[in-house]
Amino acid sequence: MTAGLVLKIITPERIVFQDTVDFVSLLGIAGSLGVLPGHVPLITQLQIAPLYFERGGQRYTVAVMGGLCKVTGHHVTVMTDAAELAEEIDVLRAEQKKKELEVLLKTPAQAPEVGQVELQARLQKTLLRLRMGEGGRFKNSHDVK
């Protein structure tokens, strides 16, 4: 039996993270979820939010852009379209993307093929990247506003 949790975060392009951790905290559609070894099995849809994990007394952060999470005893698998470790985030690129999205939201005729809901989702993802890339602290473990 594994001494901790095996956390695996995967996207269609790559494995973002795969290793043994002590604890995982994530935001599902029903609210915050903390996972320790031996957690009851479950599957939940994820919100666009930071995922935290602890390993060896250190806390790490991953920007998770929604997706699904499967928990089975000593394994946590996150499947998402996009995820980035905090240290991978390009803050300058995220700032530029934020400006572009804000312009599109103010003038929707410039992007008629993309709806307001999609633009809002893109902005939410960009704001998460910015906040994490700048090393910003959240009011609580899953506050991304």
SS3 track for 19-78: EEECEEEEEECCEEEEECCCEEEEEEEEEEEEEEEEECCEEEEEEEEEEEEEEEECEEEE
Return mean pLDDT, the chain. Answer: 84
The CATH topology of domain 5-86 is ATP Synthase; domain 1 (2.60.15)
Q: Are 37 and 4 in contact (CB under 8 A)?
A: yes
Q: Are 69 and 28 in contact (CB under 8 A)?
A: yes
- 145/105: higher pLDDT: 105
The burial class, CB within 10 Å (0-12 / 13-18 / 19+), for 110 is exposed
* Residue 17: pLDDT over 50: yes
- 109/32: higher pLDDT: 32
Q: Are 8 and 17 in contact (CB under 8 A)?
A: yes
d(C-alpha 31, C-alpha 8), whole Å: 21
**pLDDT value for 70:** 97
**pLDDT value for 136:** 47
**pLDDT value for 2:** 52
Q: Ranked by mean pLDDT, which of 48-52, 89-93, 103-107 comes out on top?
A: 48-52
What pTM was computed for the model? 0.76
- Torsion angle of the four alpha carbons 2, 26, 70, 47, in this order, in degrees rounded to the nearest 10: -170
* Residue 116: pLDDT over 80: no
Secondary structure (DSSP) of 98-128:
HHHHHHHHH-GGG-TTS-HHHHHHHHHHHHH
* Residue 137: pLDDT over 60: no
